[in-house]
Structure 1
């Protein structure tokens, strides 16, 4: 684990998010569509998965202070915790580290 990952784990633990969080993820931007690629370890099992989740204009995106962000403000380096919606479309994202 890199230092950033340890900081994320500490953030999640201190905010009691361990049980509800599916994965620590990194935002990727490809062909004009925002795609959430899960590169981190799922917190409830020792497996690594890659899942693509579409981020639409109706996706609720908040930073760690609860402020709303638009999809356009997402950066490739942003780590997010995703609360997945229906059929591969993210309904809510929580941005952990802000550049």
Structure 2
């Protein structure tokens, strides 16, 4: 494939150099690949955290007034009454992160 060409090119390019230079080139390429993978993973993790934070903020905004009303009420509500008061939306809150 395409990587074979570049592998043979780098092999022939550094073939005449001493062993320490060839090892250094291989190590630099390896560390560059690891750094690229780490940066990609950092962005992906940040994106997932941002999505989770936005979902949490949306849920808090949705149920803030209802929760405040229920907690400050004088009466004790049953579970079914609470479900009706909250009008719980399963589509808004999903367990997937």
Using structure 1 for the length normalisation, give the TM-score: 0.21
Q: Find the structure with the greater CA-based Rg.
A: 2
The structure carrying a bigger helix percent of its residues is: 2
The structure carrying a bigger strand percent of its residues is: 1
Using structure 2 for the length normalisation, give the TM-score: 0.22
